């Protein structure tokens, strides 16, 4: 079974600064998807960014980017120019590729990192 580990339960960053959240995972599969989800105090889970394992290029979405190291099974999230609205829980998640034949498309989530952006 896949496992996802987020080693930083809490982090803080000054507004406008850059912060990196760590995530490692364990799998024997070669094709899979990785995700970062954000959960603000409103509780709604929102997709931040997605990475497909077969793509070597790191995904970016505006101020959010990832550092995907497939051999190391590492998938960190970098938030640039942090804003107060970035304050939230951030969850890393893993999913087997639907084309891998694994037959299960569930996402496995890490325990989360609570990020606080300080004014």
Partner 1 sequence: DAGVIQSPRHEVTEMGQEVTLRCKPISGHDYLFWYRQTMMRGLELLIYFNNNVPIDDSGMPEDRFSAKMPNASFSTLKIQPSEPRDSAVYFCATQVIANTGELFFGEGSRLTVL
For position 119 contacting partner 1 by CB under 8 A, the verdict is: no
Q: How far is CA 93 from the centre of its chain?
A: 6
3-class SS of residue 85? helix
Chain Cα centroid distance, residue 67: 10
Total residues in contact with partner 1, by rule CB under 8 A: 24
106 binds partner 1 (CB under 8 A): yes
Contact call for residue 48 and partner 1 (CB under 8 A): no
* Among residues 27, 33, 58, 74, the one that binds partner 1 under rule CB under 8 A: 33
Question: Bridge-partner residues for 78, per DSSP?
Answer: 20, 65
Give the span between the Cα atoms of 61 and 104, in whole angstroms.
Answer: 27
Query: Can you give the binding site for partner 1, defined by CB under 8 A?
Result: 33, 35, 37, 42-47, 50, 52, 91, 93, 95, 98, 104-112
């Amino acid at each position: 079974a896949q496992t996802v580990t987020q080693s930083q339960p809490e982090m803080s960053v000054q507004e406008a600064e850059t912060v990196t959240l760590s995530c490692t995972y364990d799998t024997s599969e070669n094709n899979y998807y990785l995700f970062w989800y954000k959960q603000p105090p409103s509780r709604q889970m929102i997709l931040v960014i997605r990475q497909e394992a077969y793509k070597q290029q790191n995904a970016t979405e505006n101020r959010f980017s990832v550092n995907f190291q497939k051999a190391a099974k590492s998938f960190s999230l970098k938030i640039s120019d942090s804003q107060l609205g970035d304050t939230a829980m951030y969850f890393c998640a893993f999913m087997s590729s639907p084309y891998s034949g694994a037959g299960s498309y569930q996402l496995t989530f890490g325990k989360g990192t609570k990020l606080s952006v300080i004014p």
